[in-house]
Amino acid sequence: MATKTLSSTCISGLAVLLLFLVTGHEALNSGQYPVVVSTWPFLEAVRAAWRAVDNGFSAVDAVVEGCSACEELRCDGTVGPGGSPDENGETTIDALVMDGVTMEVGAVAAMRYVKDGIKAARLVMQHTKHTLLVGEQASVFAISMGLPGPTNLSSSESMEKWTKWKQNHCQPNFWKNVVPLDRCGPYRAKDFVGLYDGTCSKTTPVGNIRSRSSHVGLHNHDTISMAVIDKMGHIAVGTSTNGATFKIPGRVGDGPIAGSSSYADDEVGACGATGDGDIMMRFLPCYQVVESMRLGMEPKAAAKDAISRIARKFPDFVGAIFAINKKGVHAGACHGWTFQYSVRNPEMDDVKVYTVLP
């Protein structure tokens, strides 16, 4: 009898080991919650979220704490104020928070003069029946609800970056199929230049000369996307970014778009994304990931599938995804760069960073 018991135990242990190797990284004990996952090695942001959720905060509140920490630290210069100037030299904020229990979403986009993007997004979710507020009216709302502002979101670093870009004839940029009337614009559609004054333009058209990856990278086009599973097993996600460097004013990327930069459903799990938001938002990759997991895919397969759908249409795109299911199993996938994401769960003494190769 003792031999049988030992044999069963060994077989069971082997099965658990095989499960770990096949399905990804999982908190295998009964205390698998809470869990915090974030794009990139934003360690202090994950620690802030962990402190909150480990002390009994809800998943939503922990996400806000984590993303707020990243905004205050100006992670990589791509989150919070002081980074990613647009063509006019101004920094604006995109942010989103989503509750996987109620499926409520609050978001702000192209928000000016208010540095607290993720807190503004939560206010939209808490105090309006809307999902997304944009531009200066998002700023007015956020200030009216008690957030500090108006504030100049530029910094000496962002203005220096913008000045050098202007000196380089405003290259690279996000225009295509246009003719600049001066070295930095204004731009006109090349098919229509000359129609209004009866002349033929001698300026050089701007087309698809550079691949998108030439001006999309870790330090100029990034997002914190975070998922938290709290002690009750409830899931929330949040994102915050100051968008693409030298973007056309008014541009909104994937950051405040539910299903693109992040998505959560208590019944299934969550996803976070980062990279070329203009491309990725056309595919709603995080919605795809969660729905794939709903249909039985493991996180690793779901993440790879979502990335491959984009890569088939846009082979030069740069982006990455993390996926986590409701059991705490997590994985990542990427294309065009090496991706890292950060995790903290009860089995860890501190944040652990996972590296994913393209």
Which residues are designated catalytic?
223
CA trace torsion 264, 268, 273, 277 (10° rounding): -70
Q: If DSSP codes are grouped into helix, strand and coil, which group holds residue 144?
A: helix
Question: Which residue in the block uniquely carries the two structure tokens 């082997």?
Answer: 14
Name the binding residues for substrate: 251-254, 274-277
CB 240 within 8 A of CB 70: yes
What span, in angstroms and rounded, lies between the C-alpha atoms of 246 and 244? Answer: 6
What span, in angstroms and rounded, lies between the C-alpha atoms of 275 and 227? Answer: 17
Q: Which residues pair with 352 in a beta bridge?
A: 343
Which DSSP category does 258 fall into?
A: B
Q: If DSSP codes are grouped into helix, strand and coil, which group holds residue 223?
A: coil
CA angle 22, 235, 298 (to 5 degrees): 20
- Return all residues near 82 (Cβ < 8 A) that are at least 6 apart: 74, 91, 153, 154, 155, 157, 158
Cis peptide before 34 (omega within 30 of 0): yes
Q: How many CB atoms lie within 10 A of CB 134?
A: 17
Burial of 316 by CB count in 10 Å (0-12 exposed, 13-18 middle, 19+ buried)? middle
What span, in angstroms and rounded, lies between the C-alpha atoms of 256 and 180? Answer: 30
